Amino acid sequence: MTRFRLSLTATILSALSLVLLVSWLLLGVVALKITERTLYSRKANEALRLVTVLTRLVPPDITTTSDSEAATGFIRTLAQDYKFRNLLITDPVGTVVFAAPNG
């Protein structure tokens, strides 16, 4: 019975193909992780901007100020457009002034 042996060229080509395939897979994983980190960073920056705008819009004493309608409207828009969950605004004592509906 004769044993099948690859030629030297076929062995080198198959080894190089294997190395190339493994390196593509590793580079793909690295690119995926970098993209994931970038997207999380962008989302965090967007959330920080929204919270900054929200804190500037909400009057210091939201419970007694008549300007709270603008803040409440903005909060409702955020809750609907950005799908915020468990968005609460409390007064300094800790009483809930506004709670966005979950959903």
pLDDT in tens, 5-29: 879 999 999 999 999 999 999 999 9
Is there a domain that residue 1 lies in? no
Structural domain tally of the chain? Answer: 1
Is there a domain that residue 60 lies in? yes
Cα end-to-end span (Å), the chain: 71
Is there a domain that residue 13 lies in? yes
Is there a domain that residue 95 lies in? yes
> 10 Å Cβ neighbour count for 75?
22
Residue 67 has pLDDT above 60, yes or no: no
63 class by beta-carbon count within 10 Å (0-12 exposed, 13-18 middle, 19+ buried)? exposed
Task: Decide: pTM greater than 0.85.
Answer: no
- Full residue range of the structural domain in which residue 17 is found: 8-99
| Percent of the chain predicted with pLDDT > 70 | 70
Is there a domain that residue 2 lies in? no
